[in-house]
Amino acid sequence: MNVVIPWSSRRFQYTSKHQARPARGTLEIGGRRVAIGGDAGDAWGVLDVGRGRWPYRTRWNWGGGAGRSACGRHVVGLQVGGKWTEGTGFTENGVIVDGRVTKLGDELAWDYSWERPMQPWRLRDPGGRLDLVLEPRFDRHSKVEALVLGTEVHQVFGRWSGRVVDDAGREIALEGIQGFAEESRSRW
């Protein structure tokens, strides 16, 4: 999913999000090797690349995930975002089913609590093509405050469940797909 978000003639952001990338390799910790992907089972990666000139104060949501559909027949990737694209007419939202991207052009409804990030995060597409809940199991909270710069992020990791609808009109159930969601509040 590649988009350019035009805030003004001087402020923009190009972002390229690659979800559901098959991953394979080994992890070595203290002499112990762990296989990832391949014969060890499914493993998925994500790549996030962006360049631009941001407004001084910025808030955004971002989320993603990958795994097999509830029936096991489809590989599904999730790419969802919000707040930072509002009012531009563009979004970074999409669903990948078996390598094919279905673009979701509407802003998604994000329902969660900043004060209680370990509670479920719900996302809905107003067009009915996505209805998901993320059950968090870990919150990576960070906060940095400097004189004029600062950032605070709740990035939760957990499992997505719900349903998505692809361009072919297939409704695909998801149950327990690994993923994440975040809210970032920044001054830069």
Tens of pLDDT, residue by residue over 144-157, are 999 899 999 999 99
Asked, for residue 159, whether it belongs to a domain, the answer is yes
pLDDT digits (tens, 9 = 90+) for 98-119: 999 999 999 999 999 999 999 9
What is the domain range of residue 58? 54-187
Asked, for residue 47, whether it belongs to a domain, the answer is no
The whole-model pTM stands at 0.94
Q: How many domains does the chain have?
A: 1
Of all helices (H) and strands (E), which one includes residue 5? strand 2-6
Alpha carbon dihedral 32, 36, 38, 42, in 10-degree steps, equals 140
Asked, for residue 83, whether it belongs to a domain, the answer is yes
Asked, for residue 125, whether it belongs to a domain, the answer is yes
pLDDT digits (tens, 9 = 90+) for 35-83: 999 888 999 999 999 999 999 999 999 999 999 999 999 999 999 999 9
Tokens describing residue 48: 């996030």
Asked, for residue 25, whether it belongs to a domain, the answer is no
Asked, for residue 17, whether it belongs to a domain, the answer is no
Asked, for residue 168, whether it belongs to a domain, the answer is yes
